[in-house]
Amino acid sequence: MADTINQAARKGILVDTARCIGCRSCQVACKQWNKLDADKTVNQGTFENPRDLTSALYNRIRFVEKETPEAVTWRFLNERCMQCGDAGCIKVCPSPGALYRTKDGIVAYNKEKCISCKYCVSACPFNIPRYDANDKVSKCNLCQSRIDGGMTPACAKACPTEALKFGKRNDLIARAKAAKKEIYGENVLNGLGVAYALEGPPEQYGLPPNPSIPLSIFLWKDVIKPLGILGFWGSIGAMMLHYVTIGPKKVDDDLNNKEGGNE
């Protein structure tokens, strides 16, 4: 079951890949607003840099390179937390309030409450959460504080081509559909808060075509964990019943005799 979400009030970003020029202003703006350190990188023979998200990099541009005899072409994908409507990370988190849903539909987090179990990593269909030097969860929270203050997320504000459009999710999707764009994330996982207008199949961009929360998460959350708790309280109950009906465990007579014999 998805955590409670008000679809009408939900805010999000529509990433229009056709408009993205790979300038990475979004990466830089995010670092500046969130006061994130620079990541040390090395040249790996590609313009894509850095090659992965880190605890200090909440969004990045994935370069999808295609080589033909005539030229090398690129497509660009802004990679970040998708703000899932049915969020595996919230679902699996055992620490109340560490990962939570805001009134705008954002999947936010509180590092103070993160217990570093890293279950959210296994539960995320998009491999997004990272852990900082203190082993606390880190990811994009859609610039929660800026939205609360009536502002646009820093990345969308900095984007020079409006490849990142921020607004009410329903309006963004409706406008993209009216423009005959192919939408990724309209309905999967109860709708992604960050949806994409793609120029080709999702696989071409490294996106899973049918993202889903791993089945093992449901087994853990809905079956194994409750059974474990039941087993724990069952043992406590059995011990109490033993105490009430039989009384406290007595010291073994043999042991008493032995000890007496040694005197």
Contacting residues toward ligand SF4, per CB under 6 A: 20-26, 29-30, 33-34, 58-59, 61, 76, 78, 80-84, 87-89, 107, 124, 126, 128-129, 139-143, 153-155, 158-159, 161, 163-164
Q: Is cis: bond before 50, omega within 30 of 0?
A: yes
Report the alpha-carbon distance of residue 128 to residue 204 in Å, rounded: 19
Cα gap 106→141, rounded to integer Å: 7
Q: Which is nearer to ligand SF4, 33 or 205 (CB)?
A: 33
Residue with Cβ nearer ligand SF4 (78 or 102): 78
Structure tokens at 25: 């202003």
Cβ closest to ligand SF4, residue 30 vs residue 114: 30
Nearer to ligand SF4, 14 or 61 (CB): 61
Choose between 34 and 170: whose C-beta lies nearer to ligand SF4.
34
CB of 82 to ligand SF4, least distance (A): 4
Q: What is the DSSP string of 167-232?
A: EEHHHHHHHHHHTTPEEESSSGGG-BSEEEEESS-GGGGT--SS----HHHHIIIIIIHHHHHHHH
Report the DSSP beta bridge partners of residue 61. 78
For residues 11 and 173, which CB has a smaller minimum distance to ligand SF4 in the complex?
11
Read off the tokens for 128: 């997004």
- To the nearest whole angstrom, how small is the minimum distance from the Cβ of residue 34 to ligand SF4? 6
- What DSSP state is assigned to residue 54? B
With respect to ligand SF4, which residue has the nearer C-beta, 4 or 257? 4
For the CA atoms of 125, 131, 137, 140, what is the dihedral angle to 10 degrees?
-70
What is the enclosing helix (H) or strand (E) of 65? strand 60-67
Round to whole Å and give the CA distance between 147 and 166: 10
Least Å distance between CB 6 and ligand SF4?
A: 16
CB of 248 to ligand SF4, least distance (A): 49
In whole angstroms, the minimum distance from the beta carbon of 250 to ligand SF4 comes to 54
Instruction: Please name the residues in contact with 259: beta carbons below 8 A apart, sequence gap of 6 or more.
Output: none
Query: Rounded CA gap, 189 and 132, in Å?
Result: 27
> Measured between alpha carbons, how far is residue 263 from residues 228, 253, 254 in Å?
47, 16, 15
